[in-house]
Amino acid sequence: QHLVPFLELPDRRLHPLADDLDALASPRLLATHMPLSLLAARVGALGCRVVYMCREPKDVLVSYWHFASKVHADFSMDMAFELFCDGVSSYGPIWDHNLGYWRQSMTEPRRILFLKYEDMMADPTSHVKMLAEFLRVPFSDDEVRRGVVEEVVDLCSFDKLKSLPVNSSGVSDRFVGVPIQNSSYFRTGRVGDWATHFTQEMAEKLDAIVEEKFRGSGLRF
C-alpha cells in the first residue's frame, strides 16, 4: 500500500502521508474498497479507468471475518454471518457493491473492467494480458514470445507476494491505534475456502440471498 496508496487510509485528517496522494504524479494508481456510489463524480468525468475485482460472496465473508477478528477478538463467525446476510458491512451490502460496478461496466466497458477473483486464479495469464490492454499498456508480440507475461504472473502470484519479508513480517498501524501484523493481509487466497467454515444451511441461506439480489442483472457466481 506504499506503492499503491489506499484512498480510505490513511485518514486525511489524521495522517501526515495524506497529502502525498495529491502530490503523486499522473497517471496515478490508487486502491479503494469504496462502492461506486461513493467515488467522486470527477472519477467518471475525467475518464479515470477503474479495475474492479469481486469475489464469491461466501469467500468474501470468510476473508473479512478472519481479518476483522484480529481487530475485534470477540467478533464470532456467527455474528459476522448474520450481519453480512443483513447487508451490514464496512462498505454496505456486498450485492449492492458488486452490482454498482457490474452495471456501470456494462455501460462503460472501456472505462470499467469488471473481474472475478475465481476467473483470475483459474487463468492468471489471460487476465494479466487483459489488464494490460485495458490500461492501454499492452504487451508487445516480442514480450509475449519471451514469456514476459508469465514472469509478471509469477512475480504477482499470491505465494510470491505472501513470502516477501515486507508482507510476512512486521507490524503496520493503518487504522491509527490498531497495529496489525502485515502477514494478516495474506492468509490463503484459496478459492472455495468458505466450505471449511460454513454449514450447509449457512451456504444455502447466503446463496439464496445473493441469487435474489442479483436476479435479472446477468451477474452470477
Residue 139 is classified by DSSP as P
Candidates 2, 33, 127, 197; catalytic one = 33
Whole-number Cα distances in Å, 14 to 10, 82, 164: 7, 33, 29
Q: What b/e string do you get for 131-155 counting C-beta neighbours within 10 Å, with b at 16 or more?
A: bbebeeeebeeeeeeeeebeebbee
Distance (Å) of CA 65 to CA 68, 104, 195: 5, 28, 14
Half-sphere exposure of 184 (CA within 13 A, CB side): 18
Told to judge if 33 belongs to the known catalytic residues of this protein, a careful annotator would answer: yes
Task: List phi, psi (to 5°) of 60.
Answer: -60, -45
Q: Looking at 49-157, list the stretches that DSSP marks H as alpha helix, in order from N- to C-terminal side.
A: 57-71, 77-85, 94-107, 117-122, 124-134, 141-145, 148-155
Q: Which three cell numbers stand for residue 52?
A: 474492479
Active site residues: 33
